[in-house]
Structure 1
Amino acid sequence: MKNYIIQKMIEYFQNDVKRINHALKVFNFAQIISYDLSLEEKTKEIIIYAAILHDIGIKEAEKKYDSSIGKYQEIEGPPIAREMLSDLKISEEIINRVCTIIGNHHSYTKMKGIDFQVVVEADFLVNIFEENMGKNAIKNIENRIFKTGTGKKLIMTMYLNEN
């Protein structure tokens, strides 16, 4: 199932390799973070789909609003994700939760649930590098956003370790 969704995401973004690679990196970090957590299979499935499709609204946002800011991605992403996931035999409950995460993944005050937490932490691990953030910004993100043990260890090891 996840390979099918990855392929659908790649087909959707086509030659936008930067966005394809971003999604794949977020997906991999989400798997790493969730691996150490005792999660139900349903929660793992939600994390996988939401991580792969979290930025799926960016193309439509750029078309409609000439902008890729988070607010527009949150508006445009859920309908596209719902269409992609509806082709599969995925429960409506899982689709709804994936769409909720996609529709709020830049609204950190709305972050509720371990599935949402894992996807946001994974996205930040990638964004920190891609946006070349400074140490102070990274420390602020670590303090405000990161809650999982593995996520905290990754951000510390990758970006805040003084060695």
Structure 2
Amino acid sequence: MGLLYRLTQAMIDFYMGDPNRIQHFIKVHSFARLIGEGEGLDEDTLFTLEAAALVHDIGIKPAEEKYGHCEGKLQEEEGPAPAAEMLRSLGFDSKVTERVCYLVGHHHTYTGVNGMDYRILLEADFLVNLYEGSSPQAAVQTALANIFRTRTGTQICRTMFDMDYISS
């Protein structure tokens, strides 16, 4: 079985008994892969993006245990260590592990985006969060203006939320 399959299973085990969190990372992974393929990412970047999408919220659980809540910055602080541990235990390459941990540690930081994997992870997470939060159209429009930069992510967001489509 491939590494991404094994990572998915490890994350399902990590969030045992928490179907909402399991559903969340599965959806973020699916959108990340879809956007990554639509944007023509090379195989290595797509692999790193998919791994990051699977573990992007791994910091929630340690943040809740340590602080009693899990706001975004705490997720960024608490996520890289358990992500690195999980990735290493599954045999991920150190270069991939390093980049995934960077993305986990920045997935709620919307400035200084350095790479398509980072950009796409933000967009995929926003697609799911906008839906799961039953966000109003104004919030979707704000996200479109401030977060979405890829052609594929923008098109998915506009279509999903029935926004007036403007081709670029």
Please report the TM-score for the alignment, with normalisation by the length of structure 2: 0.93
Structure 2 distance, partners of 1:69, 1:149, is 29
Structure 1 distance, partners of 2:74, 2:112, is 16
Query: Residue deviations 1:124-150, cap 9 Å, x none?
Result: 000001111111111111111101111
Partner of 1:151: 153
Pairwise CA RMSD: 1.3
Structure 2 distance, partners of 1:153, 1:134, is 18
Q: Does 1:48 align with 2:47?
A: no
Alignment of 1:80-119 (within 5 A): 80-119=82-121
Runs of at least 5 residues in structure 2 that lack an aligned partner in the other structure: none
Identity %: 40
Aligned match for 1:5, one of 3, 7, 32 = 7
Please report the TM-score for the alignment, with normalisation by the length of structure 1: 0.96
Deviation at 1:36, TM superposition (A): 1.6
Aligned match for 2:41, one of 34, 39, 42 = 39
Structure 1 distance, partners of 2:40, 2:134, is 32
Structure 2 distance, partners of 1:52, 1:97, is 13
Structure 1 distance, partners of 2:109, 2:33, is 22
Runs of at least 5 residues in structure 1 that lack an aligned partner in the other structure: none
**8 Å Cα contact 1:139/1:160 also seen in 2:** no
Give structure 1 regions of 4+ aligned residues with deviation exceeding 6 angstroms.
Answer: none
- Which one has a larger percent helix, Structure 1 or Structure 2? 1
